[in-house]
Amino acid sequence: DGGITQSPKYLFRKEGQNVTLSCEQNLNHDAMYWYRQDPGQGLRLIYYSQIVNDFQKGDIAEGYSVSREKKESFPLTVTSAQKNPTAFYLCASSIDGQAPLHFGNGTRLTVT
């Protein structure tokens, strides 16, 4: 079945460590996105990519980095520079930048 796979589901890290969240899709979608969700809040865009080897900052890119070396993969690295990294991270994709958005099941990151 086609879909978006995020791993792991839960992730725990110590403060000061970088951590990479995985996002893989087999939908053959060109566009991929990373969102952050804090309790009781909406989703905020971290980074997005319309094509391979190209990506743009979203509204809250500071302290995060991404790569898009393959169409199906869009990993997100949460660096030690991110001041409040504990959150629910959601990866999404769409056929192109104007199509319906489909989400993975998310990764809950806890940094202590």
Site string for another protein, 71-110 (x = CB under 8 A): -----------------x-x-x----xxxxxxx-xx-x--
In the list 19, 21, 48, 76, the residue contacting another protein (rule: CB under 8 A) is 48
AA identity, residue 28: N
Q: How many whole angstroms from its chain centre is CA 46?
A: 7
Residues that bind another protein (CB under 8 A): 33, 35, 40-45, 48, 50, 56, 58-59, 88, 90, 92, 97-103, 105-106, 108
